[in-house]
Amino acid sequence: MKLILRSLAIILLSTSFFACKPAQEAQDTVKEGLKTTTDQIDKAKVLSDLTQVTGALATYRIQNDGKNPGSIQDLKLELNYPQDLVYDPKEGTVRSKTFPDL
Protein backbone atom coordinates (compact mmCIF):
# COMPACT_ATOMS: atom_id res chain seq x y z
CA MET A 1 0.00 0.00 0.00
CA LYS A 2 2.81 2.42 0.90
CA LEU A 3 4.54 1.55 -2.35
CA ILE A 4 1.39 2.39 -4.29
CA LEU A 5 1.01 5.73 -2.47
CA ARG A 6 4.66 6.59 -3.09
CA SER A 7 4.31 5.67 -6.74
CA LEU A 8 1.20 7.81 -7.03
CA ALA A 9 2.95 10.73 -5.33
CA ILE A 10 5.92 10.43 -7.70
CA ILE A 11 3.62 10.27 -10.72
CA LEU A 12 1.64 13.30 -9.55
CA LEU A 13 4.77 15.33 -8.83
CA SER A 14 6.38 14.47 -12.13
CA THR A 15 3.16 15.22 -14.01
CA SER A 16 2.80 18.61 -12.33
CA PHE A 17 6.47 19.37 -13.01
CA PHE A 18 6.07 18.69 -16.72
CA ALA A 19 2.74 20.53 -16.82
CA CYS A 20 4.41 23.71 -15.55
CA LYS A 21 6.35 24.22 -18.77
CA PRO A 22 3.27 24.35 -21.04
CA ALA A 23 1.54 26.59 -18.49
CA GLN A 24 4.52 28.96 -18.50
CA GLU A 25 4.58 28.94 -22.29
CA ALA A 26 0.88 29.78 -22.33
CA GLN A 27 1.45 32.66 -19.89
CA ASP A 28 4.32 33.95 -22.03
CA THR A 29 2.11 33.80 -25.13
CA VAL A 30 -0.65 35.73 -23.36
CA LYS A 31 1.83 38.37 -22.14
CA GLU A 32 3.29 38.72 -25.62
CA GLY A 33 -0.20 39.09 -27.12
CA LEU A 34 -1.12 41.69 -24.52
CA LYS A 35 2.02 43.70 -25.25
CA THR A 36 1.34 43.55 -28.99
CA THR A 37 -2.25 44.69 -28.45
CA THR A 38 -1.16 47.50 -26.13
CA ASP A 39 1.46 48.64 -28.64
CA GLN A 40 -1.17 48.69 -31.41
CA ILE A 41 -3.53 50.74 -29.25
CA ASP A 42 -0.75 53.21 -28.43
CA LYS A 43 0.17 53.46 -32.11
CA ALA A 44 -3.46 54.17 -33.02
CA LYS A 45 -3.65 56.92 -30.38
CA VAL A 46 -0.44 58.52 -31.63
CA LEU A 47 -1.76 58.36 -35.19
CA SER A 48 -4.94 60.06 -33.98
CA ASP A 49 -2.84 62.78 -32.33
CA LEU A 50 -0.82 63.31 -35.50
CA THR A 51 -3.99 63.53 -37.57
CA GLN A 52 -5.53 66.09 -35.20
CA VAL A 53 -2.39 68.20 -35.11
CA THR A 54 -1.92 68.09 -38.89
CA GLY A 55 -5.50 69.23 -39.45
CA ALA A 56 -5.24 71.93 -36.80
CA LEU A 57 -1.96 73.17 -38.32
CA ALA A 58 -3.61 73.51 -41.72
CA THR A 59 -6.51 75.45 -40.20
CA TYR A 60 -4.14 77.66 -38.20
CA ARG A 61 -2.12 78.50 -41.34
CA ILE A 62 -5.30 79.44 -43.23
CA GLN A 63 -6.42 81.71 -40.40
CA ASN A 64 -2.97 83.26 -39.84
CA ASP A 65 -1.68 84.16 -43.31
CA GLY A 66 0.34 80.98 -43.74
CA LYS A 67 2.20 81.30 -40.44
CA ASN A 68 2.82 78.31 -38.18
CA PRO A 69 2.00 78.36 -34.47
CA GLY A 70 4.91 78.67 -32.05
CA SER A 71 4.02 75.39 -30.37
CA ILE A 72 1.50 72.57 -30.50
CA GLN A 73 -0.01 73.93 -27.27
CA ASP A 74 -1.10 77.03 -29.21
CA LEU A 75 -3.56 74.78 -31.06
CA LYS A 76 -5.37 73.98 -27.79
CA LEU A 77 -6.00 70.32 -28.63
CA GLU A 78 -6.76 67.47 -26.27
CA LEU A 79 -4.21 64.87 -27.31
CA ASN A 80 -3.54 61.37 -26.02
CA TYR A 81 0.27 61.62 -25.93
CA PRO A 82 1.33 65.24 -26.46
CA GLN A 83 4.73 64.50 -24.90
CA ASP A 84 5.42 62.02 -27.73
CA LEU A 85 5.11 64.63 -30.46
CA VAL A 86 8.02 66.63 -31.84
CA TYR A 87 6.97 69.85 -33.54
CA ASP A 88 9.15 72.01 -35.79
CA PRO A 89 7.55 75.48 -35.85
CA LYS A 90 9.86 76.66 -38.65
CA GLU A 91 8.73 73.90 -41.02
CA GLY A 92 5.30 73.35 -39.48
CA THR A 93 5.87 69.61 -39.25
CA VAL A 94 5.11 67.19 -36.47
CA ARG A 95 6.30 63.63 -35.84
CA SER A 96 6.16 60.94 -33.17
CA LYS A 97 9.22 60.04 -31.10
CA THR A 98 7.92 56.54 -30.44
CA PHE A 99 6.57 55.81 -33.92
CA PRO A 100 8.70 57.89 -36.31
CA ASP A 101 7.43 55.89 -39.29
CA LEU A 102 3.93 57.39 -38.93
> pLDDT tens, 10-24?
665 565 555 566 767
With respect to residue 101, please indicate whether it lies within any of the assigned structural domains: no
Spatial contact of 75 and 60, defined as CB atoms under 8 Å apart = yes
State how many domains the chain has. Answer: 1
Q: Which DSSP letter does residue 102 get?
A: -
H helix or E strand, kind and range, residue 8: helix 2-63
Q: Residue 102 domain-assigned?
A: no
29-71 confidence digits (pLDDT tens)? 766 766 788 899 999 999 999 999 999 999 999 999 999 999 9
Residue 23 lies in a domain: yes
Q: How far apart, in whole angstroms, are the C-alpha atoms of residue 101 and residue 95?
A: 9
Domain that holds residue 57: 2-96
